[in-house]
Amino acid sequence: MDLRICIEEYLKTCSRRSNLSGKTVKAYRLDLEQFERMARTQNVERINKSDIETYVSELQAVRKPASIRRKIAALRVFFRFVEDEYGVENPFARTRFKIREPSPLPKTIPLYKIETLLSAIYEKLFSNKKESKRYGELLRDVTALELLFATGVRVSELCGLTARNIDLAEGVIQIRGKGGGMRVVHVCNPSVLQLLTDYFLRFSKPIARTGFFFINRIGSPLLPSSVRAMLRRRAKEAGIGLHVTPHMFRHSFATLLLEADVDIRYIQQFLGHRSITTTQIYTHVTSAKQRSILSEKHPRNKLNIKTE
């Protein structure tokens, strides 16, 4: 039985239905004629589940998920009609298709907005006396944000840093990532290193008592929820007009390094990503190579911020 004839008969039936508009029937025609052009056979009785799967696979290479779902729905109803009218086995019987959704693009912070945000906090910092409680809070906040941007660290990893994880003399941060794996990232910007040192000296007693590097206002370890709330508040104060999250610093870290032509294998190492399917393409980043990359390529070196 010819596929084209079946399509025309089905469309005639659709046209006779009062609840279907001309536009709907036209859309059915376009979808079914596309399938006809791509079909392996024009004999409707020979079309099977494998043919449908191949068609869907070809659609996924060129169409958006919403469009694919519409085309599958039109085809499913068509073959139900063919089954009812002509007794042909329905290739859609007991068949389900999982449409791959596109991965959402990571949200980043434009570099000039990062500069605006950090500059605003530094300005507030310098306007307060070093002995004041306000100065200490601002010092902690800007240190946390600078480290998020300097290392691409996750907010949970940031809050989990201990004094033992940070070598201020060498500018080396040991980060315990997901699954307990450890990675090392260098902080190579002199201003950020000095900031880390100033922060450590200011909070040395609660750091020694708790063991954690980042301390909240009551002397306890800083929580990820507190970092998120702080970032929202600082972003609003800076007037950058953007809903900012700690993870956006991580995305910005990776994206800006990629834009600076840093090999993605190195960025993979910096971020602590692991994938069974891609492990073989990654190479070990030596300490000297990583230091060289972050010294020369890190976008923090492009920011003009008064830090003293």
- Kindly tell me the burial class for residue 96, based on how many C-beta atoms sit within 10 Å of its own C-beta (0-12, 13-18, 19 or more): exposed
**pLDDT at 276 exceeding the cut of 50:** no
In tens, the pLDDT along 46-94 reads: 998 888 888 888 888 788 888 888 898 999 999 999 999 888 888 888 7
> Rounded to 5, what percent of the chain is helix, strand, coil?
60, 5, 35
Measured CA distances, 176 to 158, 188, 271 (Å): 9, 20, 11
Active site residues: 154, 178, 247, 250, 273, 282
CATH topology of domain 3-86: DNA polymerase; domain 1 (1.10.150)
- Confidence band of 282 (pLDDT split at 50, 70, 90): very low
User: Do 3-86 and 111-302 fold alike per CATH?
Assistant: no
Give the whole-angstrom CA distance, residue 247 versus residue 249: 5
**H or E stretch including 189?**
none
Pick the CATH number of 111-302 from 1.10.443.10, 1.20.1250.20, 2.40.50.140, 1.20.120.420: 1.10.443.10
Residue with tokens 């390094």, as numbered in its chain: 257
The reported pLDDT for the residue numbered 290 is 64
In the chain, where are the structural domains located? 3-86, 111-302
**pLDDT at 180 exceeding the cut of 90:** no
